[in-house]
Amino acid sequence: MKLSFTTYQIGKNLDLDALLEMASASGCTGIEFRLESKDHGVEISCTEEERKVIRKKIEDKYLEVAGIGTGFRFQFTDPEERKTHIEGAKQACKLAYDLGCSRIRVFGNKIPEGVNAQDCSAWVAQSLAEVADYALPLGVDVLLEMHGHFNYWGYALPVIKMANRQNIGILYNCDDRDLVAGSVQETYERIAPYIRHIHLHGFHTTYPYLELFTLLLKDGYEGYASAEINGSPDAKNMMMLYGACFRALRKAAELSLRG
């Protein structure tokens, strides 16, 4: 299990060079870029030459792009609006490919008022499948983040199964709503086969991160866990502290599995 961070919060207002420095200093091996940022410059609008320059700069630091975080979502009742987001997600897949990244994030998000949940799930599944078909030859996975109403496994999981594509998976977003009697195990066991990326939050919260790490390591998870934590005026040192906590938790999980 590898550590990265998302530029959405802790990396906000930092340019690419500062992000690379923060990643190296904190023990991250990758960065998850949230699109539509005015600072880091990693965008769908980048030219082919700009993409080559960005990729080389990242790889020269022995880092990689852990994920492309898009804001594209597929819950809209209007087919044309869904189509706009589908096409945007396809462009994000091409960006990921050009940067040597194998995953993008999309949303189901919020079920519109007055819409049956099953109908909305069908729209999301159809949209995911179309994007995934485009992404497959590029070697890119399309990940549905458990977010909004689709944070509930009872909505997210049927979408993944309906879409039924090998390169569709779940981005698990650590959330207290997933807990049953303080444990994440019941939710985890339902979604575990589909988890291909994770969003972590503050380790000071009540969420049972040690339990999650133990479950992930037991199952041989080797993917990324991205720190999605609040920004800080001293982001680099904050991320260095977070990285140390991550490694301590991972080590504790490893030791617990040894008995």
Q: Where are the domains of the chain?
A: 2-258
Do residues 54 and 30 make contact, with C-beta atoms less than 8 angstroms apart?
Answer: no
State how far the Cα of 251 lies from the Cα of 176, in Å rounded to an integer: 23
Please provide the CATH number assigned to the domain covering 2-258. 3.20.20.150
**Burial per residue of 103-124, b for 16 or more beta-carbon CB atoms within 10 angstroms, e otherwise:** bbbbbbbebeeeeeeeebbebb
**Total-model pTM:** 0.96
Could you tell me which of 4, 5, 124 has the C-alpha nearest to residue 72?
124
User: What pLDDT is stored for residue 37 in this prediction?
Assistant: 83
Task: Give 22-70 pLDDT, tens digit per residue.
Answer: 999 999 999 999 999 879 999 999 999 999 999 999 999 999 999 999 9
User: What pLDDT is stored for residue 140 in this prediction?
Assistant: 99
Could you tell me which of 196, 198, 176 has the C-alpha nearest to residue 187?
176
Task: Give 75-86 pLDDT, tens digit per residue.
Answer: 999 999 999 999
Query: Using CA atoms in the order 199, 143, 108, 16, what is the torsion angle rounded to 10 degrees?
Result: 60
Task: Give 115-164 pLDDT, tens digit per residue.
Answer: 999 999 999 999 999 999 999 999 999 999 999 999 999 999 999 999 99
Alpha helices per DSSP H over the chain: 16-26, 48-60, 79-98, 117-135, 153-163, 185-191, 209-218, 235-258
User: What pLDDT is stored for residue 32 in this prediction?
Assistant: 98
Q: Is the pLDDT of residue 259 over 80?
A: no
Task: Give 60-116 pLDDT, tens digit per residue.
Answer: 999 999 999 999 999 999 999 999 999 999 999 999 999 999 999 999 999 999 999
Task: Give 199-257 pLDDT, tens digit per residue.
Answer: 999 999 999 999 999 999 999 999 999 999 998 999 999 999 999 999 999 999 999 99
User: What pLDDT is stored for residue 205 in this prediction?
Assistant: 94
Task: Give 168-209 pLDDT, tens digit per residue.
Answer: 999 999 999 999 999 999 999 999 999 999 999 999 999 999
State how far the Cα of 67 lies from the Cα of 33, in Å rounded to an integer: 6
